[in-house]
Amino acid sequence: MKRYLFGAVAALIVLTAFAGCFKPEKTPENVRNYVEAVSDKWNQLFSNSLELISWDYHGTIADDNDLKETVELLTDHDSVRLFQIDITDPSFASVVLLSSIPSADQDDFSEAVEKLVELGQHRIRLNWKIISSGSEFTTVALVNEDNVVWDSVIGSVVIEEEEFSPVAGEQSGSVIIKWLWGTERGKITWSLECSGPPLACSYTSEAKIASGEARIETKLVKGEECCTLHYAWAYRTPTGSISIDWNPDTEQFDVEVSSWGSTGSGQGIFECCP
């Protein structure tokens, strides 16, 4: 099962000085292919609310000065904008300064983006149009030799794939979180095994994600004949918070997720009877 998720999406409006910072160069063929592919995919999914209208190549991050300059462009609180789309009403869009959101979220955003910037990456200027207002803005995307690495708009959209594998004596589940360009961004997994008699129960769980946070919480209940595993998971990108707490009154987890980017959550029960 796939779900395309997007919440409050971060976007960078590049200063007019950007055009003078980088000298245009010929676009490598592999970079062109990556950008065109993700551009087509974006417009197929979201062009009714936000259209990627064009892009320009602006060379590579050649040295430490380029690296520092690029990080500053991608994380400057007074020039980076947050582009917000209401999932229930995709025609609604607004742009706010990164500096207008809570300072902790500003720091989380900057820290997450800075970790992605490396020497040798290609810089692409993406030009966007908000359909509802007709206004335009620009972001900077990073591309390496293998694929797209980051863009503040495209990087805020994820593809979620959920899988379950029930077999005798064992059950497992996973959520694969992918960048829009297809590579894996994170993974949440859980499993339950049982054997007997006498009844024995064991379980595992793990959560990880790049440029964000992923969590899973579990509670194992061992009965006379069966094992029951309650689980709840959540992720958010790139900033925000996650809370997962067991509620003994409802015998379920209470899950709360907030983010300026994409979020996802779920919970369920595995039962294993040998």
Going by the DSSP 8-state scheme, the letter that residue 85 receives in this structure is E
| 215 has pLDDT over 80 | yes
Count of alpha carbons within 13 angstroms of residue 217, beta-carbon side: 14
Question: What is the model's pLDDT at position 87?
Answer: 45
Residue 85: which pLDDT band, with cuts at 50, 70 and 90?
Answer: low
Rounded CA-CA distance 55/45 in Å is 18
Question: pLDDT over 90 for what percent of the chain?
Answer: 54
Going by the DSSP 8-state scheme, the letter that residue 225 receives in this structure is S
Residue 66: which pLDDT band, with cuts at 50, 70 and 90?
Answer: very high
Query: What are the backbone angles phi and psi of residue 236, rounded to the nearest 5°?
Result: -150, 150
Cα dihedral 178, 181, 182, 184 sign: negative
Mean pLDDT, rounded, of the chain:
85
Helix (H, G, I), strand (E, B) or coil at 230: strand
pLDDT in tens, 10-41: 433 343 444 444 445 789 999 999 999 999 99
pTM beyond 0.85: the answer is: no
Rounded CA-CA distance 206/187 in Å is 8
Give the per-residue SS3 of 166-208: EECCEEEEEEEEEECCCCEEEEEEEEEEEECCCCEEEEEEEEE
Residue 43: which pLDDT band, with cuts at 50, 70 and 90?
Answer: very high
pLDDT in tens, 226-248: 999 999 999 988 888 999 999 99
pLDDT in tens, 95-150: 667 888 888 888 988 998 999 999 999 999 999 998 888 988 889 999 999 999 99
